Structure 1
Amino acid sequence: MNAPGYRSVFAPGLFAGKVIVVTGGGSGIGRCTAHELAALGATTVLVGRSAGKLYAVANEISDDGGLADTAVCDIRNEDAVKQTVAAILATHGRIDALVNNAGGQYIAPLATISARGWDAVVATNLTGGFLMARECYTQALQAHGGAVVNIVADIWGSMPGMGHSGAARAGMVSFTETAAVEWAASGVRVNAVAPGYIASSGMDHYPPEAAHMLRAMRKTVPLGRFGTEAETSAAIVFLLSPAASFISGTVLRVDGARPQVRMGWPMGLPDAQAAEHGAVKAFNGFHRGTVPKVLSP
């Protein structure tokens, strides 16, 4: 029996006939976003390094009645990116939008990060995103317009303990602003979404000794909880939608006001009644979403 289906807040058929590329589509926020876009009528092309993960998500989308394709690619490899984008165009005839979601990092203080480790994180979180955006633009979007959404991170105050990722994500914010100006004449909008502490499968990739820290992070968020993959996906979908047609060069934060926490202002986390209020209650529209193992009771 098929799954119940994605419970999106957006209009059915919003992206009917559109082809949208989602990097890092095999897990986490990318997987969730691909499901929502497909539920809204798009053909989603999942890009990543793990064929097995991509096929699994594509099969989920197909089982739910959506359209999905896969493209195995290391986005850090310039030639591979060029060939992958060309192959997508050859198969589908068009690319209407890109969700630059692929990324990764590891916990380490700056003094211990090697040049190789630094380069690996920057290549994934900055260079790879640039290459994907450039090729989607030059091979497709430049001719007929479209939208790019780059996924960055909660870098306000920077990222002690993950300085390589913070530097790369800050670079992607600057790239977003520059591309928004340079590509506007072609009818291309470029924005970014900055997830804060999101309960996503990516949390399970950190070492076991980080589990206590990960579980405690919600206590530093004024709204008193983790965000959901679906809440992040909704921000991405909005920026891709016609409703955002005069929004470009901006970063939409999905973080529960965490960067605004300051010494001197008491952290009063919402009580149970406030947490259930419609304005701040967690939105879980992803019918296939699961709680990260590190957060499971």
Structure 2
Amino acid sequence: MYGSVFRDELFAGQTILVTGGGSGIGRCTAHELARLGAMVIVAGRRAERLDATAAEIVADGGRAATAVFDIRDEDAVAGSIAELLAAHGPICGLVNNAGGQYPAPLAEIGRKGWDAVVASNLTGGFLVARELYNQCMAADGGAIVNMLADMWNGMPGMGHSGAARAGMLNFTESAAVEWAASGVRVNAVAPGYIASSGMDHYDPAFARAMMPRCAAATPLKRMGEEAEVAAAIVFLLCPAAAYITGGCIKIDGGSSLASGLFGLADHDRSTPFRGFHRAAPPRAAQGLDRND
């Protein structure tokens, strides 16, 4: 059972949509929300991954459903949201987690690649949030959590993703103001270096080489856990965050504050929170100390 720090049945009677719920942080977050009593809808483009996540949740005693659609397809988003509302009733929470990118220097990114990453990490999230707001939350209220990244000092090597994530922060702030009168809170989380299965999308040699470097560049001297991101998302969705909107929680072990001007002391004093009982470390971590 998921080792959540939140009280049982915190989201009982609520339906929450998690995009990108078939793997990584989305899968972990869906498990925690279900553990806390929510009816979780996991959405994405690949039915087999979504079905696997939903089956895990049901096996653990939770409730889950799936929705297969491409967040970049405006008509598909509008239609899918309508179908979900008809099938499950009001959706009170959205975890706008779906996205993706690939490493490349700016000079080598073509228009097609740029547009694809911006669509995945900015436009798609906007479309899902807009449709859910217009079709449900404008009348019923709710909470939205958008996914960013550690893009505060630029994202050299992934500039397309950095630009999109920065745009998502501004969208978060704008929506928080515009939608407040409808009882909708909009916040964001910005994970840093997370030992997530999402790393398996990168070249294994690249990911394996980067993991120790990521840990070394972080004041807490380790990579983060999927459960540590999920916990922040769950907090922003829950009633304890009722006076928080337009904000962004950095979940990066302090990496966004490490300028390089001052050295970082080596230590092993940071204890990870490993609440996800079904966590699957990335393949690149095999054979490595998870705190490296």
TM-score by length of 2: 0.97
One-letter identity of the residue aligned with 2:252: D
Q: Deviations over 1:116-155 (max 9, x none)?
A: 0000000000000000000110101110111000011001
* 1:51-90 superposed matches below 5 A: 51-90=47-86
Q: Distance in 1 between matches of 2:111 and 2:263?
A: 40
Deviations 1:67-121 (A, max 9, x none): 0000000000000000110011000111101000001000000000000000000
**Is residue 45–residue 70 contact of structure 1 (8 Å, CA) maintained in 2?**
yes
Alignment of 1:268-283 (within 5 A): 268-271=265-268, 275=269, 280-283=270-273
User: Aligned letter for 2:281?
Assistant: V
Judge conservation of contact 2:218–2:255 (CA < 8 Å) in 1: yes
Cross-structure match for 2:261 = 264
Please tell me whether the aligned partners of residues 205 and 284 of structure 2 are also in contact (alpha carbons under 8 angstroms).
no
Within the candidate set 279, 285, 288, 1:289 is matched to 279
Of the three residues 215, 219, 228, the one matched with 1:218 is: 215
Structure 2 residue corresponding to 1:10, chosen from 6, 22, 34: 6
The one-letter code sitting in structure 1 at the alignment partner of 2:46 is: S
One-letter amino acid matched to 2:285 = L
* 1:44-193 pair list within 5 angstroms: 44-193=40-189
- 1:209, 1:116 → 2: CA distance? 26
2:191 and 2:261 map into 1 onto residues whose CA distance is 25
Structure 2: gaps spanning 5 or more residues: 288-292
The amino acid that maps onto 2:145 is: V
Partner Cα separation in structure 1 for residue 49 and residue 228 of structure 2: 22
Give distance in 1, aligned partners of 2:257 and 2:123: 29
| Percent of residue pairs identical | 61
Q: Partners in 2 of 1:241 and 1:269 — Cα distance?
A: 36
Root-mean-square deviation (CA, aligned residues, Å) is 0.8
Deviations 1:237-285 (CA, angstroms, capped at 9, x unpaired):
00000000000001100000101112331210223xxx2xxxx310000
Q: Secondary structure at the match of 1:68?
A: strand
Structure 1 window deviating more from structure 2 (242-251 vs 213-222): it is 213-222
| TM-score normalised by structure 1 residue count | 0.95
For the Cα contact (< 8 Å) 1:12–1:40, is it kept in 2? yes
- In the alignment of these two chains, the number of paired residues is 286
Does the 8 A contact of 1:215 with 1:295 survive in 2? no
Q: Is 1:236 aligned to residue 250 of structure 2?
A: no
CA distance in 2, matches of 1:200, 1:173: 22
Report the alpha carbon displacement of residue 214 of structure 1 after superposing the two structures with TM: 3.0
What letter corresponds to residue 133 of structure 1 in structure 2?
A: A
Matched, 1:247 2:244: yes
Give ranges in structure 1 of 5+ residues lacking alignment: none
Q: Is the 8 A contact 2:204 2:283 kept in 1?
A: no
Amino acid of the structure 2 residue aligned with 1:292: P
Q: Give the conservation status (yes or no) of the 8 Å contact 1:19–1:92.
A: yes
